[in-house]
Chain A
């Protein structure tokens, strides 16, 4: 039984209280302070979360699938009790007057919001080194990064502080840190989960996503918050996700291996981890099929046009006029207010992306960049569609090209950092669901593989991932 299920069952059946669980989380958060993974939390706040669950009637509690389950929340998802900083100076101290839809749904399901988790500023980064509040450390090796941008959430789950956490993906920001930290990360189909209250980065790509130590943990949290939201016009009018019962084999499934995700120079350990997963796929009775996604090489450049373009507009609201930090420039006029507020409030990576995004949308450059990128995006989606239409139920790929890298290794080379997302960002461009799960360790560092499924095929994808998860020994070193 998974950690989420057993914790919720204990509280639902009256064998445990949320209050005791809250105290335990508080003490674990305190012990894990060195990770710098939690930005804001308090014991009082946790007690209040617990009393909402413990104060419910037994019949109410019986209907709570996440009764008393503590969940860490990436700090770009708004909550009314704690600040929502997005890891940025510009929103330091900002407290939202409303809760995100996912927060309301998780609380209705009995979950406790344990803390707000550190992240790359405005979710821009792959290492959680771009937080204005300091980098997050990898739980297994503090000299390394946990991945990003949802590195705080990933580290808290990997360190055992919470059984599950919310992150957000724009270009792999949950699967990539899940892979680095040796846990599970699920990115749902675009439109499956409400974005209302997720601070926008690349609106056509953003998806609230979940972490757990097992597929089941992450899937239960996802299911509880999924479904149409009248406050988000891009959610799909579909009922909430209903999980399939776990499966013991993969008989009757065809799993595609896209050649572009297995280059000759792929990291040896990563390659060995995938071999282990492929072997398990075969042993579980699925058919393996080699496929091609020919436009994959254009995914990162396409992503780095579309995401910054949307980000440049989404971040225009941080102007110092209404909320957040304000700086009045030397000239004292409006332009100086904007320059000082935004110049000091945003970190270098955010400013870089705003500049890129502004450039690619500029008059005279729009067709060459933004329009072209949208066309390529359609081709990338078409690649996946063709693979699924020609017999693949799912695709299996490495999640990341390497295991967790050293802090500082890529901060001076933005393009190297961007390439850390080479296997994850195509999924966001295509709007598909995907799950990363651990498949082993290389020199002590976790390795991940991902399953990619057709739109809204989460249930099938997650039951397959759970079968693979129990078939591979993720703790064992690959050879």
Chain B
């Protein structure tokens, strides 16, 4: 019997603001514990929250980038629960009137092709602090640097049908948010966190099965792994006549298993109510449109533009548009005069391997464009150009000068080529004999030998006529 998997994701993303959501403390990762705190984020008696305009701006941009409707009026609400890393005993969040609702994220499903996944809502909230269980033996330490960090929570519809689709959705979501410079979406530093809801049902069944929530995944790969494990657990349970309980499962990456959280930890009644310290968040439609207009071109439209404007393949366009620095670099290289297809090959090849290692492009677009031009003009061969490239890294020498210094300028002069050709023919008498006996496909062999002899300097197009001439004799 077959089962249909139904997955919805709740993604928390920290916003790239300078300061926290409701106070002036710096929003940054990695400072010594409890150094980025003030009366507001410590929840001291008498302190009051004041919303950070930049956080609202970024959340609005994120919402629009995901195709959501941003509401001109939304409400901050208190979510009440006790925990030592929650200084006020409540989290300021949004509940029944969120900032934005109703978006779509388009992604590529390995099973279903291109799919649109509904975004139920996007709301603003503040992060809690961190409980550190490994700093002080036998005790839990609290670091409140993170308390009050601005977050958006992005909730998807239960539209995902496999763990692989969940991963594809997250990949695209991250791509968009990083593009929009809303968040760095760094899962290791916790600036993107994923909770997944998963249930199974018979295909065609309109009713959703009982869901479990899966938490504690620290990479997209682990989200996929955890969901596979949880799906298999539910299938096994139902097929053996059992029932799925509504539980929260914690994923253990080391063992690749999920195990239920103690029920005491999750039986919360959050008693949401509008936060009386914060007036309704009222935005004008004009302001919302301004934030939208300030968004950069997003990956999907950019990919399409690359295909039509530069006549490159969908695959190449997709790779080049996947990250903003890559796309910007590619367009800079083309803008400096390089032919687009060659530019695409260079950017995805040599340049990309450097970028993947160092996180930046170390050859200026202008100089890469010049190098590509040298190949096109026949001044250097493609092979030779690939030897020139490493010399260009972090330098400012002109590509042609490098090619000259390395003696890689192509030689097309018949006299110079004649000497190399004669050497090659003299060194391979039996092949010469066979060629003259009619084995014309050996021409390639001779060209290759001449290229080798010339150290890549010979212009292959000019070599052949010289060979033909000499082999006649």
Contact = CB atoms under 8 A, between A and B. Distances in A.
Interface of A: 77-78, 84, 86, 91, 94, 96-98, 100, 195-200, 202-204, 230-234, 309-310, 312-313, 315-317, 319, 321-323, 334, 338, 358, 361-363, 366, 370
A77 B47 CA distance: 11
A233 B142 contact: no
Given A316-B89, A317-B45, A334-B84, 4 more contacts: A96-B46, A233-B48, A233-B50, A309-B273
Interface in B50-98: 50-51, 78, 80, 82, 84, 87-90
Contacts of A366: 271, 273
17 contacts: A97-B39, A98-B39, A98-B46, A196-B48, A199-B45, A200-B48, A203-B276, A233-B50, A313-B80, A313-B89, A313-B271, A316-B88, A317-B87, A317-B89, A322-B42, A361-B273, A362-B271
A317 B89 CA distance: 5
B33 interface: no
A204 B276 contact: yes
Query: Ordered nearest first, which 3 A-B pairs have the shortest CB separation?
Result: A316-B89, A204-B276, A203-B276
Contact of A313 (B44, B45, B142, B273): B273
B46 A78 contact: yes
B89 A319 contact: yes
B273 A100 contact: no
B46 A322 contact: no
B455 interface: no
Interface of B is mostly: loop
Contact of B48 (A86, A195, A322, A363): A195
B284 to A, nearest CB: 17
B269 interface: yes
Given A97-B39, A98-B39, A362-B271, A77 B46 contact: yes
Chain B interface size, as a band, is 20 to 34
B46 A198 contact: yes
Given A310-B276, A313-B90, A363-B271, A84 B45 contact: yes
Given A204-B276, A361-B273, A363-B269, A199 B46 contact: yes
Contacts of B88: 313, 316-317
Given A203-B277, A319-B82, A321-B84, A358 B271 contact: yes
A78 B272 CA distance: 28
Q: Which of B46, B50, B90 has the most CB of A within 10 A?
A: B46
B87 A322 contact: yes
B364 interface: no
A316 B90 contact: yes
A361 B80 contact: yes
B278 interface: yes
Contacts of A310: 273, 276
Q: Which of A94, A321, A366 has the most CB of B within 10 A?
A: A321
Given A233-B50, A309-B273, A370-B273, A319 B84 contact: yes
B43 interface: yes
Given A230-B50, A233-B51, A310-B276, A316 B80 contact: yes
Interface of A is mostly: loop
Contacts of A232: 48, 50
B190 interface: no
A202 to B, nearest CB: 8
A366 B273 CA distance: 9
A195 B48 CA distance: 8
B48 to A, nearest CB: 5
Given A198-B46, A310-B276, A338-B82, A361 B271 contact: yes
B45 A91 contact: yes
Nearest to A364: B269
A479 to B, nearest CB: 45
B49 interface: yes
Q: Which of B45, B90, B273 has the most CB of A within 10 A?
A: B45
A197 B80 CA distance: 22
Contacts of B279: 233-234
A321 B46 contact: no
A77 B45 CA distance: 9
Nearest to B83: A334
Contacts of B277: 200, 203, 233-234
Contacts of A234: 48, 276-279
A316 B273 contact: no
Interface in B247-280: 269, 271-273, 275-279
Contacts of B51: 233
A408 to B, nearest CB: 30
B131 to A, nearest CB: 10
Contacts of B48: 195-196, 200, 231-234
Given A233-B51, A313-B78, A321-B84, A96 B45 contact: yes
Nearest to A84: B45
A100 B47 CA distance: 9
A323 B44 contact: yes
Contact of B45 (A86, A312, A338): A86
A389 B275 CA distance: 30
Contacts of A199: 45-46
A119 B269 CA distance: 32
Contacts of B82: 316, 319, 338
Given A361-B80, A362-B269, A231 B89 contact: no
